[in-house]
């Protein structure tokens, strides 16, 4: 496989459930990101991992918990979500400290619906 793969593509969960979103990149990149895309809102950066360390947490509620076990995998653990958390969650990767190869690759996203 190539590129950035996100699973599942669609997820419906109740407010008391616990679920996880998975992102995997096969590009050898060393930075990974979670973005949230809600209807009629700009893409919002949630978390940034660089060399497996979290370097950014944009005031995201604690019901979202990221995990980056290695440079190829990124998870977003979800628990006790609210209906307003329903959105498209996009994962991206990039190669940092490399000015000749600067660009983001996005996955297809997970469409999350909280009921």
Partner 1 sequence: AQKVTQAQTEISVVEKEDVTLDCVYETRDTTYYLFWYKQPPSGELVFLIRRNSFDEQNEISGRYSWNFQKSTSSFNFTITASQVVDSAVYFCALSGGDFQGAQKLVFGQGTRLTINP
Residue 56 binds partner 1, judged by CB under 8 A:
yes
d(C-alpha 47, C-alpha 3), whole Å: 19
Residue 39 binds partner 1, judged by CB under 8 A:
no
| Least separation in angstroms between CB 66 and partner 1 | 13
Binding pattern for the stretch 93-112 against partner 1, x by CB under 8 A and - elsewhere: -x-xxxx--xxxxxxxx-x-
Structural contact between residues 47 and 57, judged by C-beta atoms closer than 8 angstroms: yes
- Total binding residues toward partner 1, as defined by CB under 8 A: 29
Structural contact between residues 18 and 106, judged by C-beta atoms closer than 8 angstroms: no
């Amino acid at each position: 496989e190539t590129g950035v793969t996100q699973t599942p593509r669609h997820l419906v969960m109740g407010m008391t459930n616990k679920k996880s979103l998975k992102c995997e990149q096969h590009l050898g990149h060393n930075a990974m990101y979670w973005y949230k895309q809600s209807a009629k809102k700009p893409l919002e950066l949630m978390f940034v991992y660089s060399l497996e360390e979290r370097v950014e947490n944009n005031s995201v509620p604690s019901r979202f918990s990221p995990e980056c076990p290695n440079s190829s995998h990124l998870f977003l653990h979800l628990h006790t979500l609210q209906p307003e958390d329903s959105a498209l969650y996009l994962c991206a990767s990039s190669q940092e400290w490399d000015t000749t190869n600067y660009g983001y690759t996005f996955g297809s996203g997970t469409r999350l619906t909280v009921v």
